[in-house]
Amino acid sequence: MSNMITDTASDRVQAVFLKAHCRVLTISGMKPPRGLTKKMILDKASRITGVSYKRGEFGKAADDLQKFINTHL
Q: Which of 70, 2, 48, 72 is nearest to 22 (CA)?
A: 48
- 23, pLDDT greater than 60: yes
CA distance 1 to 49: 32
pTM over 0.75: yes
Per-domain residue ranges of the chain: 11-72
Residue 1 has pLDDT above 60, yes or no: no
User: What is the number of other CB atoms lying within 10 angstroms of the CB of residue 5?
Assistant: 10
Q: CA–CA separation, 46 vs 40, rounded Å?
A: 10
pLDDT band at 15 (very low <50, low <70, confident <90, very high): very high
Residue pLDDT, tens place only, 28-72:
878 888 888 999 999 999 999 999 999 999 999 999 999 999 998
pLDDT for position 10: 82
